[in-house]
Every structure is written in C-alpha cells, then in structure tokens.
C-alpha cells in the first residue's frame, strides 16, 4: 500500500510488503530469478521474429541477432539507476531525496521480472521517478514532469500507456523502506550512548554518502534496511570511532537481544561483501553507446516504436478503432432516426 519512502523502523519493516515479497535469501537467488526473466525475454524476441519472418522488413534473421548477455543487461540497468539522482536535480526545487530513493528501488524491482529487451530503462526510468513522485505526494502533472525533466517527446505517451503494467510489475507495492531513517536513529542513539564524546556529525554524513552508493546495489533485497544502515555507519567511521561503535553495538544492541546477536554480526560482515560484488554506476560514454546500439538491435520489436512491426500493429489498431467509431456513429444515427420516426408517427 501507499507512499512513505523515507524509511521506517525495524518493526514496520518486518510486517511490510518489502519483507514479504521483495526479500531474497541471497543475491544468487535474486540473480536466478532475473536470469530466468532475461532468458524468457530472449526467447520471446525469437518467437516474435519467427512469426513475422514472412515479412522481409521485420528485421534481422533470428539466428543473426546478437542478443545482450544477462550481465550486459544488468550493466545497462545500473547505468540508469546511477542517473536517477542527477535527473531529480533538474527540478526546481530538486525532488526530495526520498523520491530518489523510492525511484531507485522501483527501477530495481521492475527489472526482476521486467527486462531491458521489452522496455529499456531509458523509458522505464522516467516512469519510475514519476511514480515515486506520486507515491511520495509530490504533486506534478505528467506534462510538466516531462517538460521540466527534458524528456523525449514520446515519454508522456509511454508513461500513460505502460503505467498500469509498471504498477503490476511492482505488484502494487509502493511503500519503500529505505535505510536513511534507521541510520539517523542509530547515529543519535549511539551518540547518546557514547556521551559525553558522542559521534562527530561527519560520520553520519559519510554514512549517508555510502548509503546512496549502496542503495544502487542489491543489498536491500537481501538485508533489512536497519542492518544496512548500521553496516554503513560502521564502514564510514574512522578506526578510532569504529572501536566505540562496536562497544555500542555489543553493549546496547546485542545485549538487548542476545539470541539475535550472532545473526546481526554475520549481517554486518556480509553486507559490505554484497556491496563490493555489485555492478555499479554509469558505464563510460563509449561503452554505453555500444550497449545501447546492441540493445536496439535485439530488443522486442513488438514494443519498439522505431520498428516496422510496431508501426504495423499501431496502424492496424488505429484502423480497428476508427472502424468501431464509424459503426458507433452509424448505430447512433439509426437510433436517432428511429426515435424521430416514432415521434412523427411515420
């Protein structure tokens, strides 16, 4: 249900849709799921081309298509995830950071079952940000959003057409529990525990910077936001502060729930490893151009506005709609005529 992307306490997370539907036991389990979506999408493109082989214009022979590998598709998604923040700064005032966090999470969730071969992230990424604005009560009309975001002309029609499909891919779960609020909570709590020295604000700032990097990885699919926040606080702290933080974790957090202490320690070790292994950030301009060209050559023509197949389907749809309209008009005229005749008694 509803909005609320800034993050939330642990108790709420454990009963959330995020915990029930978007949590994976490991990155491998998540990868298996995404890989299956990629393989199915490749197969779908083969089927579409085979069915359309009668038409020479349909595109390359199926055998000749150079499909993106799964890793290349992940690299394209990572590139666009890294651009969300910059895109949100085109707005004046800038869209709030929680919109950025929610949009990133939507993009990552969408591309578990969705694939770049069907809808490339260059299109989906604007839809994710637009939807994050709605979920976070940032009121903006779609036309203003597209204009201020300097989006291509076709974006508005794309968002209108695929909004429902996007919501279905997210299973209508729009709440995102981000790690920023738990981070602030831990920072304040640890500062109070370590009084009078407390913790320098610079440690919180460094942890926030680290979390922005981490939210672009898969770590929120495998660990609760509160654990991710605590791991970021530990990782961002200089050595002398880490000693103090470990004292806080042992005496305050683990002492409060001794049964879960080994699990917490294991998570604090595992999280930086998950993050290190991730594909992150934008590709170099040359690499991105190369991947985009490869994607354009192997994407599903059924959903590609540039393809002959898409144009034919659109024209057929337009013809059908116009024929329906004509039939409706004729039926209405007949009805009017019949009514008039009954009034005039002819």
Q: How far is CA 163 from the centre of its chain?
A: 13
On whether the CB atoms of residues 219 and 27 are closer than 8 A, the answer is no
Q: In 3-state terms, what secondary structure has residue 288? A: helix
Report the predicted TM-score, pTM, of the whole model to 2 decimal places. 0.76
**Token pair for 165:** 């499909």
- pLDDT value at residue 184: 92
Sign, CA dihedral 145-150-152-153, equals positive
| pLDDT at residue 20, as a whole number | 61
Side-chain-facing half-sphere of 8: CA atoms under 13 Å: 16
Look at residue 316 in the predicted model and tell me its pLDDT. Answer: 67
pLDDT of residue 13: 56
CB neighbour list of residue 48: distance below 8 Å, 6 or more residues apart = 300, 301, 302, 309
**What is the distance between the alpha carbons of residues 71 and 296, in angstroms, rounded to a whole number?**
16
Find out whether the peptide bond into 112 is cis, omega within 30 degrees of 0.
Answer: no
Quick one: pLDDT at residue 8?
41
Nearest to 33 by CA among 102, 110, 105: 110
Q: Are 213 and 280 in contact (CB under 8 A)?
A: yes
User: What confidence score (pLDDT) does residue 5 get?
Assistant: 40
Bridge partners of 177, per DSSP, are 6
Closest C-alpha to 68, from 289, 286, 281, 291? 291
pLDDT at residue number 310:
58
Residue 197 is predicted with a pLDDT of 79
pLDDT at position 6: 40
pLDDT in tens, the chain (346 residues): 333 344 344 556 565 666 666 888 888 888 889 899 888 888 888 877 776 655 545 555 556 788 888 889 888 888 888 888 888 888 888 888 889 999 999 999 999 988 888 888 888 888 999 999 988 888 888 888 888 888 888 888 888 888 888 888 888 878 888 899 999 998 998 888 888 878 888 899 999 999 998 988 888 888 999 899 999 999 888 888 888 888 888 877 767 777 787 788 888 888 888 888 776 677 788 888 888 888 877 887 777 666 566 566 666 666 788 778 888 888 989 888 888 888 887 6
User: Do 58 and 141 contact (CB within 8 A), yes or no?
Assistant: no
As a whole number of angstroms, the distance between CA 176 and CA 190 comes to 25
């Amino acid at each position: 249900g509803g909005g609320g992307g800034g993050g939330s306490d642990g108790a709420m997370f454990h009963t959330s849709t995020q915990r029930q539907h978007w949590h994976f036991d490991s990155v491998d389990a998540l990868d298996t799921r995404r890989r299956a979506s990629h393989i199915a999408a490749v197969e779908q493109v083969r089927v579409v081309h085979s069915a359309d082989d009668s038409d020479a214009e349909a595109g390359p022979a199926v055998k000749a298509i150079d499909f993106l590998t799964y890793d290349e598709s992940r690299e394209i998604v990572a590139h666009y995830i890294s651009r969300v923040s910059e895109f949100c700064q085109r707005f004046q005032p800038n869209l709030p950071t929680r919109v950025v966090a929610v949009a990133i999470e939507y993009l990552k969730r969408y591309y578990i079952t969705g694939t770049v071969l069907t809808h490339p992230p260059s299109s989906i990424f604007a839809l994710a940000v637009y939807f994050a604005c709605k979920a976070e009560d940032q009121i903006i009309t779609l036309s203003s959003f597209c204009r201020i975001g300097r989006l291509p002309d076709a974006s508005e029609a794309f968002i209108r057409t695929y909004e429902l499909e996007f919501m279905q891919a997210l299973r209508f779960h729009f709440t995102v529990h981000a790690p920023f609020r738990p981070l602030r909570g831990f920072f304040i709590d640890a500062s109070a525990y370590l009084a009078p020295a407390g913790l320098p604000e610079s440690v919180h700032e460094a942890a926030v910077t680290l979390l922005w990097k981490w939210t672009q990885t898969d770590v929120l699919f495998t660990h609760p936001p509160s654990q991710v926040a605590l791991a970021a606080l530990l990782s961002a702290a200089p050595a002398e502060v880490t000693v103090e933080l470990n004292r806080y974790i042992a005496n305050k957090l683990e002492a409060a729930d001794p049964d879960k202490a080994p699990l917490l320690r294991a998570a604090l070790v595992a999280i930086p490893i998950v993050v290190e292994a991730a594909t992150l950030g934008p590709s170099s301009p040359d690499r991105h151009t190369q991947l985009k060209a490869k994607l354009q050559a192997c994407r599903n023509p059924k959903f590609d506005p540039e393809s002959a197949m898409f144009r034919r389907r659109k024209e057929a749809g337009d013809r059908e709609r116009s024929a329906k309209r004509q039939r409706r008009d004729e039926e209405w005229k007949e009805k009017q005529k019949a009514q008039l005749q009954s009034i005039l008694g002819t």
